[in-house]
């Protein structure tokens, strides 16, 4: 089943709040959009930042795919589910 795709322009983002909730150790990101609010955990944003750096700062790389996996023997303090680089080929058609 194909999922609908929404593209948010910069003007659709009303506010972004980065905060560490009481009793937690990691940052949460609250993104207030024109039609909804999204909360992302630190590990997700770290994956997005990593993907951004690995594509925009690389002289030839055009894409990277990070796939959710649950590796064994994850280091202490790391999320159980990780966004790990995969070698899937993709076509970037979002306009």
Angle, alpha carbons 34-15-7 (nearest 5°): 45
Q: What is the pLDDT of residues 9-25, one digit of tens each?
A: 999 999 999 999 999 99
What pLDDT is recorded for position 9?
Answer: 95
- CA-to-CA distance for 26 and 40, rounded, in angstroms? 11
What pLDDT is recorded for position 89?
Answer: 77
Q: What is the DSSP string of 30-83?
A: EEEESS-EEEEEHHHHHHHHHHHHHHHTSSS----EEEEE--SSPPTTS-SSEE
What pLDDT is recorded for position 94?
Answer: 64
Instruction: Give residue 1's pLDDT band: very low, low, confident or very high (50, 70, 90).
Output: low
> Can you say whether the dihedral through the CA atoms of 41, 34, 95, 4 is positive or negative?
positive
Q: What is the pLDDT of residues 46-95, one digit of tens each?
A: 999 999 999 999 999 889 999 999 999 888 888 888 999 987 777 777 66
């Amino acid at each position: 089943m194909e999922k609908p795709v929404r593209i948010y322009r910069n003007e659709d983002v009303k506010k972004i709040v980065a905060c560490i909730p009481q009793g937690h150790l990691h940052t949460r990101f609250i993104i207030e959009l024109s039609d909804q609010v999204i909360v992302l955990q630190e590990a997700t944003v770290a994956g997005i930042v990593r993907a951004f750096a690995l594509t925009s700062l690389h002289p030839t790389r055009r894409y990277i795919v990070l796939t959710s996996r649950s590796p064994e023997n994850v280091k202490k303090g790391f999320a159980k589910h990780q966004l790990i680089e995969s070698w899937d080929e993709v076509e970037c058609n979002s306009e």
